[in-house]
Structure 1
Amino acid sequence: MAARPNIILIITDQQRYDSIGALGFPYASTPNIDALAERGVVFSNCHITAPSCVPSRASLFTGYYPHSTGILANGQKWRRTWVSQLREAGYRCVNVGKMHTVPYDADAGFDERYVVENKDRYLDGRWFFDEWDKALAAHGLVKQQRELYRQRDDYRERLGAFDWELPEELHSDTFVANMAKWWVNTYPKTEPLFLQVGFPGPHPPYDPPARYSAAYLDRDDLPLPAPSQAEIDSLPTALREKRHHDVAVDHDSVAWDLEPSREQLQRLWAHYLGNVTLIDEKIGELLGVLGDRGYLDDAIVIFASDHGECLGDHGLSQKWSMYDAVTRVPAIVWSTAGRFAGGRRVDGLCQLFDLGPTILEYAGITPPASFEAASLKPALEGTAWTPRAHVFFEQAGDISLTGADFIIGVRSENWKLVQFKGTDEGQLFDLDNDPAEVDNLWDDPAHLDKRRELLDAIRDWLIESNYRTRDLLAEAR
């Protein structure tokens, strides 16, 4: 066993926990991720720190909560990461695919970056041609994107679900996997290696080649969302506004419908799950190439996603809310050389950014004392580990969250609270009796003590965070 393992970090974009067969969703065809789960350790209660791409990823790659990084919404600048510590320690650090740094091409501590960003960057305001754009142009092709989708007669009926009609090898997720395989096969073998592969999917547009979604289109047993009118009417004002905003403004080529039909939802879920199956296939190919080159002789392989997605749950589209469909993400860690036992499930609460100090410790690096992320190494190795009593999420008003300046949430093992800044509204869910998060108890007099308890937890967390990061914030000045 080497002193330091190779570390392979695979991150998908906007993938729900319940989109993987081995994680309890038998409708999904995900044999390669299932195999990772069977060999590795599944963290079944891993939650993000922010329900959108940029603040979640900045938190993951810095080790701090969004309010500590100051990155609370998409589009905010971030470029520094703990990856630089790996590079300084002798790792060859390579990124292929999406990181979502701002600017997109910041080195972010890597030796090499092959950037592939969001599939649909229309109206982004930051003209940047990534590796995928260049490949499409080299083939004389125009990317499937919003301007072209809008020309379809059925555009507003599709809810962002389209077939990829260009060559399969130029689909964004296939392209990322192929470029990663190319690098592994072509670059002279170098160890220790930190390879981060960021798949753009299943983030919308939900656009796999038709053969991937076909099997799901014919299934009549998919558990499609069916929110009641009573639930929709009880949504906080900001989320009701979001529903209408997502109808009026087609973010990521998704034109939402306030009352989608079962046929629309079937197509949406089929394309989303089809994209997941495509990514699963490419993960299998990538791991095969890594194994052939010897990189998996002693490696830590991590699979996770930056946040989830509603897909019509609660009458909502995409993210920017704090339901478990958005905050709970897959997180699987596998040691190929038996540094810790696999075939296990850890049910205690943790957060996505806890993977950062975990990676550093396996690389022989002591994480900074100010980190708010906490290493999962003890949990992986079966030694003394205390799960988090609470996990926290925060999000500033964003392009689709126009009805609130800021939302903040806390989840314990059994309860969740969400507060909307500047309003008297919030959400309070008893997760034992209401795991689907439908019955909002925020205004229920019988649960005012629980509401206060969780608001106190937020207060204490913010006080502790301010104290813990004081030196970091002083240095930033």
Structure 2
Amino acid sequence: MNLGKAENQKDNVKADEEDRPNIIFIITDQQRFDTIAAHGHDHMETPHLDRLVSEGVSFTNCHITAASCVPCRASLFTGYYPHVNGVLENEQLWQHTWVEKLRDAGYTCVNVGKMHTNPFNADAGFDERYIVENKDRYLQGRWYFDEWDKALAAHGLVKQQREKYRERDDYGRALGAFEWELPENLHSDVFVGNFAKWWLDTKPKAEPLFMQIGFPGPHPPYDPTPRFAERYMGKNNIPAPKVSDTDLSGQPSYLEHKRVHDAEVDHDSILWNPDRSDEDIRRMRAYYYANVTMIDESIGRLMQSLEDNGYIDNTVIIFVSDHGDCLGDHGVSQKWSMYDVVTKVPAIVWAPKRFEGSRTLDGLCQLFDFGPTILELAGLAVPDDYEAQSLLPALKGEDWTPRERVYCEQAGDMALTGADFITMVRDERYKLVHLMGSQEGQLFDLKTDPDEMINLWDCEAHAEIRTKMKEDILNWLIASNHKTRDRFALAR
């Protein structure tokens, strides 16, 4: 079933076409929630994101639906949880999206950068796609040759990538942190930002416009250019990872499996060296934060282009990320776990002429809730069986009921070798992580233990809470299956 053809879009347009805003949907890859200065994180330099915060609406408790790139994005762009659309791990097929509805309703739909569809070059509802995928993708015979590959090749350059990094003497200590040595304008995040700016500057003005801009960073390898790397290496307030003996001893065994695997297999140019030093970790984190500031600078150029080309007054900018990164917190690398540093993401909506700004909303929501929000902004009806819920009432300052609970699920995938299927349920106070087929799990009291250091899974005093939250997962799955019973045959 083609999502764009499921309904007659003309019948679903609810708003005056002249009121339909341009929508710029910016998605970074693997950006933690604690990487924006205006949200209280003074180790960061993010003046342009700070502007979005000060003039926009921030959702500070927004959680993903899957703990890795592909299933999270497939959920975001379909409106269904991963167990419904069938995309539960990386490299699974998916290509149909609600963007098709926007295109059918008259929006010019453009993608610049990462969407992570599979196949990469599916149209996914866009009129134009200028695709840039993972930084570390290097098997040219197997992978799609994207716009960034073409630009590098046209300059006679070879992309910095895993097979080249492996030749370095410091590869085992770098933890994925490598300075970008090629021209700055050919860094993936600069390239994507400049490509989107080129489109805005050179194409005839297209209104209404939906543009999805997918920055590859700060996903590893963490590869800032020298001027950004030096700036962050000179800081004395780079946060150290949060980890303790109590934390490590209380973890389920799948996380130890992950540590061992990550020390043997260098996913995304990271070899998780068990002999890493504090300085190794500090450099990794400094380079990661520097990547974020590079993206911030690109966002500033994009906002100036939107203003220069007459888009800005009728534009809604939505800024999010697809998941976070442990960066050594809990002794773990990257994602594929259910800690808040992975599941909670930055989420900002900027439209000062449309929504009252300088607001922070702390209620629980999920990343895929931005799908129906975008549809409603465009004046389109949201399908009744969508599991995502529009955030438009919250943006308008109307009555908004946050979610009581958020859910996240992940099938065994790449670095996740010690667990076949993980499910998380989280409310305002407690988080439970269920491991299929295992007696192990995780339970945290987020009120008394916001850093998730003390696993209460085996604590007798919390047995009733553990049972109740496991029942929450059961009831959620039953209700989800019932609500989406006509969608299981959906062609991905």
Q: What TM-score do the two structures reach when normalised by structure 1?
A: 0.98
- 1:296–1:336: 8 Å Cα contact kept in structure 2? no
1:133 matched to 2:149? The reply is yes
Tell me the equivalent position of 2:310: 294
The Cα offsets for residues 201-253 of structure 1, whole Å up to 9 and x where unpaired, read as 00000001021121221222222115223422322111110001000000000
The Cα offsets for residues 355-402 of structure 1, whole Å up to 9 and x where unpaired, read as 000000010001111100000001111111110000000000000001
From 430, 452, 465, the counterpart of 1:415:
430
What does residue range 117-266 of structure 1 map to in structure 2 within 5 Å? 117-122=133-138, 126-266=142-282
Tell me the equivalent position of 1:332: 348
C-alpha distance 123-129 of structure 1, shift in aligned 2 (>3 A): closer
C-alpha distance 291-244 of structure 1, shift in aligned 2 (>3 A): same
Aligned mates of 1:278, 1:72 — CA distance in 2: 31
Tell me the equivalent position of 1:469: 484
C-alpha distance 124-471 of structure 1, shift in aligned 2 (>3 A): farther
1:26 matched to 2:37? The reply is no
- 1:132–1:172: 8 Å Cα contact kept in structure 2? yes
Aligned mates of 1:319, 1:422 — CA distance in 2: 21
- SS of the aligned residue for 1:297 comes to helix
- SS of the aligned residue for 2:287 comes to helix
From 326, 331, 346, the counterpart of 1:315:
331
- 1:258–1:315: 8 Å Cα contact kept in structure 2? no
- SS of the aligned residue for 1:19 comes to coil
Aligned mates of 2:359, 2:41 — CA distance in 1: 18
* Counterpart amino acid of residue 433 in structure 1: T
* Counterpart amino acid of residue 227 in structure 2: R
Aligned mates of 1:179, 1:430 — CA distance in 2: 45
1:377 matched to 2:392? The reply is yes
- 1:11–1:198: 8 Å Cα contact kept in structure 2? yes
Aligned mates of 1:368, 1:336 — CA distance in 2: 28
Root mean square deviation, CA, Å: 1.3
* Counterpart amino acid of residue 35 in structure 1: R
Aligned mates of 2:198, 2:377 — CA distance in 1: 26
- SS of the aligned residue for 1:360 comes to helix
From 408, 411, 423, the counterpart of 1:393:
408
- SS of the aligned residue for 2:424 comes to strand
The Cα offsets for residues 110-144 of structure 1, whole Å up to 9 and x where unpaired, read as 00000000000135973210000000000000000
Aligned mates of 2:412, 2:88 — CA distance in 1: 8
Kindly state the Cα deviation for residue 316 of structure 1 after the two structures are TM-superposed.
0.2
The Cα offsets for residues 264-306 of structure 1, whole Å up to 9 and x where unpaired, read as 1110011000000000000000110011101111111100000
Aligned mates of 1:193, 1:122 — CA distance in 2: 33
Aligned mates of 1:141, 1:336 — CA distance in 2: 42
Kindly state the Cα deviation for residue 22 of structure 1 after the two structures are TM-superposed.
1.0
Aligned mates of 2:457, 2:242 — CA distance in 1: 23
- SS of the aligned residue for 1:160 comes to coil
Kindly state the Cα deviation for residue 259 of structure 1 after the two structures are TM-superposed.
4.5
* Counterpart amino acid of residue 224 in structure 1: A
Kindly state the Cα deviation for residue 345 of structure 1 after the two structures are TM-superposed.
0.5
- 2:356–2:396: 8 Å Cα contact kept in structure 1? yes
Q: What runs of 5+ residues in structure 2 fail to find an aligned partner?
A: 1-15
Tell me the equivalent position of 1:447: 462
Q: What runs of 5+ residues in structure 1 fail to find an aligned partner?
A: none
Aligned mates of 2:389, 2:198 — CA distance in 1: 34
Kindly state the Cα deviation for residue 474 of structure 1 after the two structures are TM-superposed.
5.0
Percent identical pairs in the alignment equals 62
Tell me the equivalent position of 1:427: 442
- SS of the aligned residue for 2:431 comes to strand
* Counterpart amino acid of residue 274 in structure 1: A
Tell me the equivalent position of 2:23: 7
Aligned mates of 1:106, 1:25 — CA distance in 2: 38
- 1:311–1:318: 8 Å Cα contact kept in structure 2? yes
* Counterpart amino acid of residue 436 in structure 1: D
The Cα offsets for residues 54-107 of structure 1, whole Å up to 9 and x where unpaired, read as 000000000000000100000000000000000000000000000000011110
Tell me the equivalent position of 1:343: 358
Tell me the equivalent position of 2:380: 365
- 1:47–1:352: 8 Å Cα contact kept in structure 2? yes
Kindly state the Cα deviation for residue 262 of structure 1 after the two structures are TM-superposed.
1.3
Aligned mates of 1:165, 1:16 — CA distance in 2: 25
Tell me the equivalent position of 2:9: none
- 2:93–2:118: 8 Å Cα contact kept in structure 1? yes
* Counterpart amino acid of residue 212 in structure 1: F
Aligned mates of 1:475, 1:397 — CA distance in 2: 23
Aligned mates of 1:228, 1:385 — CA distance in 2: 38
Instruction: Point out the more displaced range, 78-87 or 378-387.
Output: 378-387
- 2:85–2:490: 8 Å Cα contact kept in structure 1? no
1:52 matched to 2:68? The reply is yes
Instruction: Point out the more displaced range, 286-295 or 121-130.
Output: 121-130
- 1:309–1:325: 8 Å Cα contact kept in structure 2? yes
- SS of the aligned residue for 2:156 comes to coil
The Cα offsets for residues 10-38 of structure 1, whole Å up to 9 and x where unpaired, read as 00000000011012211100000010011
Aligned length: 476
Aligned mates of 2:349, 2:463 — CA distance in 1: 39
- SS of the aligned residue for 2:381 comes to coil
The Cα offsets for residues 299-347 of structure 1, whole Å up to 9 and x where unpaired, read as 111000000000000000000000000000000001142x221110000
- SS of the aligned residue for 2:345 comes to coil
- 1:6–1:300: 8 Å Cα contact kept in structure 2? yes
C-alpha distance 160-475 of structure 1, shift in aligned 2 (>3 A): closer
* Counterpart amino acid of residue 97 in structure 2: T
Aligned mates of 2:277, 2:58 — CA distance in 1: 35
Aligned mates of 2:468, 2:390 — CA distance in 1: 27
C-alpha distance 92-27 of structure 1, shift in aligned 2 (>3 A): same
- 2:218–2:292: 8 Å Cα contact kept in structure 1? yes
Kindly state the Cα deviation for residue 261 of structure 1 after the two structures are TM-superposed.
1.5
